[in-house]
Structure 1
Amino acid sequence: MSPRIRPLTPGDLDPEQSALYAQITGGPRAQGPQHFPLTDVDGSLRGPFDAMLRSPAVGTAQQELGAAIRYRTRLTDRMRELAILLVAAHRDSTFERESHEAVARSAGLSDDELTALRALDVSCFTGDEAAVGRATLALLDGDLSDDLWDAASQALGVPGVFELTALVGYYVTLALQLHVFRVD
Structure 2
Amino acid sequence: MTTSSRDQPRLPPLTPDVLDDEQRALYDRITGGPRGVAPQGGVPLVGPDGQLSGPFGPMLLNPPIGDALQELGATLRYRGRLPDSARELVILCVAAHHGSDVEWRVHEPLALAAGVDPADVETVRAGGTPTRGAPADVAAARTALALMTHGDLEDDEFTAVREVIGPGGVFEVTALVGYYTLLSLQLRLFRRDTRDLG
| Distance across 1 between alignment mates of 2:111 and 2:136 | 17
Closer, same or farther: CA 183–33 of 1 in aligned 2, 3 Å: closer
1:125 is displaced (CA, Å) by 2.9
Once the two structures are aligned, what percentage of the paired residues are identical? 51
Question: How many equivalent residue pairs?
Answer: 184
Specify the code of the residue in structure 1 equivalent to 2:141: G
User: Are 1:10 and 1:44, in contact at CA under 8 Å, matched by a contact in 2?
Assistant: yes
Task: Please name the residue that 1:11 is paired with.
Answer: 17
Gaps of 5+ in 2: 1-5, 194-198
1:34 is displaced (CA, Å) by 4.4
Would you identify which runs of 4 or more consecutive aligned residues in structure 1 move more than 6 Å?
Answer: none
| Distance across 2 between alignment mates of 1:91 and 1:76 | 23
Task: Please name the residue that 1:82 is paired with.
Answer: 89
Task: Please name the residue that 2:26 is paired with.
Answer: 20
User: Are 1:91 and 1:172, in contact at CA under 8 Å, matched by a contact in 2?
Assistant: yes
Q: CA RMSD in A?
A: 1.3
Q: For residues 161-180 of structure 1, what are the structure 2 equivalents within 5 Å?
A: 161-180=170-189
| Distance across 1 between alignment mates of 2:47 and 2:163 | 42
Specify the code of the residue in structure 2 equivalent to 1:63: Q
Matching residue within 145, 153, 165 for 1:144:
153
| Distance across 1 between alignment mates of 2:188 and 2:92 | 16
1:157 is displaced (CA, Å) by 1.3
Specify the code of the residue in structure 1 equivalent to 2:26: L
| 1:53-105 Cα shifts (integer Å, max 9, x gaps) | 00101000000000010011111111001000000000000100011112112
Gaps of 5+ in 1: none
Q: TM-score normalised to the size of structure 2?
A: 0.88
Specify the code of the residue in structure 2 equivalent to 1:10: P
Task: Please name the residue that 1:96 is paired with.
Answer: 103
Q: TM-score normalised to the size of structure 1?
A: 0.94
